[in-house]
Amino acid sequence: MIKDTNKEFKVEKSGRLDKILTQYLGKSRNQVEQLIKEGLVKVNSKVVTKTSFKLKIEDRVEYQFREATPKERVVVDFDVEVLYEDEVMMVINKPSGLVVHPAPSVKEATLVDWLIERGVSLSTIAGEERHGIVHRIDKDTTGALVIAKTNEAHQKLSDQLRDKSMGRYYLALIDCPLKESCVVEKPIGRSRNNRLRMDVIPDGKEAKSAFYKLSESDTKVELVAVKLFTGRTHQIRVHLNSLGRHILGDVLYGFKSKRDTIKRVYLHAYKLYLTHPVSEKRMEFVAPLFSDMQCYIDKHFNQGEINAKINPSTIDSYFRTLTHRM
């Protein structure tokens, strides 16, 4: 629901819409950008959704705030493993099948619902439906996810995402071994043939992923480590598909399997690194594998080799070596 009364002001100094509105409102840049993108800002009576729109002196800017709409209470009948928590942030190990934040198409309880049910104080920068969510993980993907409790923490963690000082190393089980460890730089955009999928397309957004070969199983399934340099939707899955490889359980991108044997995508955000938004201390978190993916690895791989290869203290070095070679 949107408030009926518009608020407005006249521009006294030319410049970008997002910068001038941020200064005028005293809100965070993220909040103002969302306001603009949702069509709640007008310039000279015309809706403007481009944050970089250039304002001139004497332009009239109108803005509205979206009011929180009463949400139907959903039943939260699950728990989530907390890896770390303090006054300003939390790191959790997200299970498979859990949607991170509410959306019109989502009927079941989400991670945000669990956080609210648990009484966690959350940042509001990302809007009412994305309380505290700094970054997201697909519904079927598991692993480490950071949550901001304050707007200041959210802003600082978001800045780290942008400047790449925060990141994650993923583990994935793929249906055919890679020829070699590699870096993939291919632009990604919405598929023209299937709107549920993303694809490598010439006019897509820049995307870069690194894949490191860890171990092959007795069935020629391979465990790989992955590092993202950008954060596009389905990026790991799309880049693997472009190499003719697929993650076990990923039927959307071409893995051929019966759902009764592999029920979800075997992709896990294994290690998260960041700088604490208040203490500025470098921090690392390791999210244990969930039982289904762990059982598959135990059954088909050499456990001693796997434990050595996914050692949290050495996984970073694979990518330093790999990207240096490239």
Beta bridge partners of 63: 7, 41
Choose the catalytic residue: 4, 18, 138, 140.
138
CB 192 within 8 A of CB 199: yes
267-275 and 282-286 as β-strands: parallel, antiparallel, unpaired? antiparallel
**Is 138 marked active-site?**
yes
Catalytic residues: 138
